[in-house]
Amino acid sequence: MTAIAGSTPSVGGMSELAAIALNCSLKAEGPSNTEVLLRQVLDELEGHDVTTDIVRVAARTIHPGVLSEAQGPGDAWPELREQILASDIVILGTPVWLGNPSSICRRVLERMDAFLAETDDDGRMITMDKVAGVVVTGNEDGAHNSIAQCYQGLADVGFTIPANAATYWVGEAMQPVDYGDLDETPANVASTTAMMAANLVHVARLLKEHPYPAG
C-alpha cells in the first residue's frame, strides 16, 4: 500500500517523509480532474524525496460519523485513518460542487473530528507534527472557499498549514472546461504547485525533527 515503511535512506541525512493524498472526487473510478492536479503535487513531493500514496476515497466506503471506530460493517475509515496517521504530509484534494468541497471531503473531515479528543501520553493530539495541504479543481469558482473550509478543519484537528499550502484550478465562470481538458498546465498553477510542495516538505521536516511541546 503506502511505501512509508520503505528503507531508502533519506537525502542528506534528513528525515524521510511520507505523504498521502486523499482524492475526494465523487467518482469511485475513471478520470478525475482533482487526481490530475494531485498527481502533479505528488510528483513535486517525490522530487523532494517524499514517498507518496494516493487514495480514491469514493472507491472505499466511508460511513457517516464522527468517531474513529468503524461505524458498522464495511466502514473503511479505520484503515484510511491508519494511513493518514502513518503519513507526515496529508493532502486533501476535492472537486468543487455548488461552490463548496465535495460531500466526500466533508465526510473525511467529519471522521477526522475524532482526532480532537485523541491525545498521546503528552496530551498532544495524535495529528500534531503532521502538515496538511489542499488541492481543489472545478470547472468554475469555489476554490478559495473550499481551501478555507479545509484549512480550518485540518488546523482544528491538529495539522499545521504551511504557507501557500494549496494549489487549485477553476475555469472561467459558467464555462464547461475542466482541468483535465487543458493542453498544458498553466504556468501560474505549476509554480503554485511547486511552491506548495516545497513548503509542505520544509515544515514537515522541521516538525518531524522538532515536535510540538507537550500539551
Enumerate binding residues for a copy of itself (CB under 8 A): 26-28, 58, 64-66, 97-104, 106-107, 109-110, 113, 125, 127-128, 140-145, 147-149, 151-153, 155-166, 168-175, 186, 188-189, 192, 195, 198-199, 202-203, 206-207, 210, 212-213, 215
The C-alpha cell at 116 is 480532537
Q: Tell me the backbone φ, ψ of residue 145, rounded to 5 degrees.
A: -65, -40
Q: Could you tell me the smallest distance in angstroms from the CB atom of residue 52 to a copy of itself?
A: 19
Pick left, alpha or beta for residue 123 (phi over 0 → left; psi -120 to 50 → alpha; otherwise beta).
left
Q: Could you tell me the smallest distance in angstroms from the CB atom of residue 5 to a copy of itself?
A: 25
**Going by C-beta distance under 8 Å and a sequence separation of 6 or more, which residues neighbour residue 108?**
22, 24, 57, 62, 80, 92
Indicate the residue among 4 and 190 with the shorter CB distance to a copy of itself: 190
Indicate the residue among 5 and 174 with the shorter CB distance to a copy of itself: 174
CB atoms within 10 A of CB 173: 8
Q: Could you tell me the smallest distance in angstroms from the CB atom of residue 158 to a copy of itself?
A: 5
Sign of the torsion angle spanned by Cα atoms 41, 47, 50, 56: positive
C-alpha–C-alpha distance, residues 179 and 29, integer Å: 17
Q: Which of 48, 71, 69, 75 is nearest to 133 (CA)?
A: 48
